[in-house]
Amino acid sequence: MLAKSFEKAFDDEDWIFEIKWDGYRAVADLSKEKPLFYSRNGISFLSKFDKVSQDFENQKHKMILDGEIVAYDENGKPNFQLLQQIGDNPNLALTYQVFDILWLNGHSTEEIPLIQRKELLKEALIETDVIKYCDHIPEKGIDFFNQMKKMQLEGMIAKKAGSLYIENSRSSDWLKIKFTNTEEVIICGFTEPRGSRKGFGALILGKYIDGKLVYSGHTGTGFNQESLNIMHERLKKLIIKTSPFEKIPKTNMPVTWTKPELVCEIKFSEITEDGIFRHPVFVAIREDKNPEDINEKPKEMKAKTPSKKTAASEKEKEISLNKHKVKLTNQDKIYFPKDDITKGDVIEYYQSVAEYILPHLKNRPLSLNRFPNGIEEQSFYQKDASDNIPDWIKTTQVYSESNDKYIDYIYCNDKATLAYLNNLGCIDLNPWNSSLPDLEHPDFLVLDLDPSKKNTYDDVIETALQVNEVLNSVKVKGYCKTSGSTGIHVYIPMGGKYDFDQVKDFAHILMKQVNEKLPKITTLERSLQKRDDKKIYLDYLQNRTGQTLASAYSLRPKEGASVSMPLEWEELKPGLKPTDFNIHNALERIKAKGDLFKPVLGKGIDMMKALELLEE
């Protein structure tokens, strides 16, 4: 995806702003066993920038990244010319600034809005000394632009926060705003040198306009003697007899024409009405650009000012909850297409059941499962809170060993946060089993009955009833709920008295008992490849740090808009279906029954007593 030129900085809450790096645009394809790393025109960068490509080994996810290779001078300032001298200077300070993600673990992310792609990228990318996440600031483009100017950088890129990634498109959703006018042009020939100058006098420059190569000026400045000689040697290999232009330009000195294959970058003061660059200065050869790409019309230098509000944002409203203002967008966006349920309906449901669901979310880190375009479109998981969340949203830092970094988890203690999360596309809410301040000791144990496609829901009910028999035999009271999907969850209060390993081992012992009673329809085999595809998986591994399941009273992103609903054991009868409890009838049922899951958060069981009874 490419950016259009734009003439001035602006402020807009629907846009984000990044540094315009003065480097080589590069795609890193880490989706296969061997990485690919290449320029916009397909030139491999793997060996040329092996300092970057070596660090791909540190990435844990299969993904395709978009970014820019940047070289820095001794003052730490990006310097494009240094990139071209990489062969002479292997110790050059380099980074790969990654600003977008196009594919992650088997799924294209191009249809996800930019701001969500960046959150996903921040979560998935493992930063190294060389590979860096390219951050942004929201809304305040003018201040950011002035800061870039102070730092003597090239400029900034403005991107519409909700824009999708459209390949090979120069879109007005991405704009480049520079302090100096720079442009890529095609070298089409050179003039004879004057006086004592050796090599050539000036480069003849061209661009494609409406498919035709058109003369756009000439430049002889920007060279020292060494770069002049190198350029001349290179051009000699491209000499042709006739002009590549249909209309031959007038020049003061005789011209040697060349194949229009080399692209260079120039600086200039302005473009005249007839498309000629004024005061052009040679900056560098652009190995990463194709001549065919150099076809942007000069008139596009003046792009239209982005409209403050798009049609999509007209369905916005701001509500006040818990003394906080929550901005709700696209309320009429369809989240459940077959059920005609909108984002607004989802927000309304959660507000209506807030007093029942919030106790089960309170102080618990959340893994956000986001469906920004509804249940039939691409979804993604997010753990790390983004930098642009409102300051009243509560977060807690948890160290992640797998990522070797601290992750800012959001937790939801009030109606305002609930509405904010729903507005992000969180249809279901997935809390940890433990809560602040003690995340090492779970408040409850979870037994997750996970059927195969070949099991009926009646099979799952039979298994749940068997779980209850095992629990009764050791005088433990369990509490069951539909998963809202195909399974059933059984919870046992632990009261934060045991650590995760102890709870997981106890869950394993209980599931072994169930498996012994129902060997024909249940399995403890974790591996999908080895597991019998006609059996229910007795998942006790949900009892590990950071594992999450949909909360009680959570909607599920399934056709029918089912709700994960607590049940009385007597209600578990053949014929029950997960869709019996849904967005339309859940509140009425909860009001009638009260919170059946309240004891799950209460006094925990005595695990040692239960184990003694098991051994009898």
CATH number where 147 lies:
3.30.470.30
Q: Are residues 220 and 334 in the same domain?
A: no
514 Cβ contact list (under 8 Å, min separation 6)? 463, 466, 467, 470, 522, 538
pLDDT for 590 equals 95
Tell whether the model's pLDDT for residue 80 goes beyond 90: no
- Residue 306, in any domain of the structure: no
Q: End of a domain among 271, 301, 331?
A: 301
Distance CA 522, CA 532 (A): 9
Q: What is the pLDDT of residue 296?
A: 54
CATH classification of the domain holding 323: 3.90.920.10
Last residue within a domain, chosen from 126, 155, 173: 173
Residue scoring higher pLDDT (170 or 552): 552
The distance in angstroms from the start CA to the end CA of the chain is 68
Rounded Cα distance between 546 and 366, Å, is 9
Give yes or no: residues 89 and 62 share one domain.
yes
For residues 437 and 390, state if they share a domain: yes
Span 433-483, pLDDT tens digits: 999 999 999 999 999 999 988 899 999 999 999 999 999 999 999 999 999
Specify the number of domains making up the chain: 3
- Residue-number span of the structural domain to which 291 is assigned: 182-301
Residues 220 and 161 in one domain: no
User: Within 13 A of 161's CA, how many CA atoms are on the CB side?
Assistant: 22
Peptide bond into 437 cis (omega under 30): yes
If you ran DSSP here, which 8-state letter would residue 249 be given? P
pLDDT at 315: 64
Arithmetic mean of pLDDT, 303-329: 65
Question: Between β-strands 380-382 and 277-278, what pairing exists: parallel, antiparallel or unpaired?
Answer: unpaired
Report the percentage of the chain scoring pLDDT > 90.
Answer: 66
Q: Which residue has the higher pLDDT, 481 or 614?
A: 481
Q: Domain check: are 524 and 393 in the same one?
A: yes
Same domain, 84 and 212: no
Does pTM surpass 0.75? no
Q: Does 309 fall in a domain?
A: no
Q: State how far the Cα of 229 lies from the Cα of 202, in Å rounded to an integer.
A: 13
pLDDT in tens, 101-112: 999 999 999 989
Are 498 and 405 in a shared domain? Answer: yes
Residue 467: its H or E element: helix 457-473
For residue 194, pLDDT over 90 is answered with no
pLDDT at position 299 over 70 = no
114 and 208 in a single domain? The answer is no
pLDDT, position 207: 92
**In the predicted structure, residue 134 carries a pLDDT above the cut 90:** yes
Same domain (yes/no): 130, 204:
no
The pair of three-digit structure tokens given for residue 498, joined into one six-digit string:
């045991």
Residues 578 and 605 in one domain: yes
Question: Within this chain, do residues 169 and 186 fall inside the same structural domain, yes or no?
Answer: no
Residue 42 is assigned to a structural domain of this protein = yes
Read off the pLDDT of residues 366-383 as tens digits, 9 standing for 90 and up: 999 999 889 988 787 888
Asked if residue 230 is part of any domain, the answer here is: yes
Identify the bridge partners of residue 318 per DSSP, sorted by sequence position: 327
CB–CB of 154/182 below 8 Å?
A: yes
The amino acid at residue 584 is H
Q: Which residue has the higher pLDDT, 270 or 20?
A: 20
Q: Is residue 502 part of a domain?
A: yes
Other Cβ atoms less than 10 A from the Cβ of 91: the count is 6
CATH number where 202 lies = 2.40.50.140
Whether residue 310 lies inside any domain: the answer is no
Residue 352 and residue 211 share a domain: no
Range name among 53-62, 83-92, 241-250, 259-268 with the lowest pLDDT average: 83-92
Please report whether residue 99 resides in a domain: yes
Q: Which residue has the higher pLDDT, 198 or 296?
A: 198
Res. 363: pLDDT tops 90: yes
Out of 266, 301, 336, a domain closes at 301
Is position 307 within any domain?
Answer: no
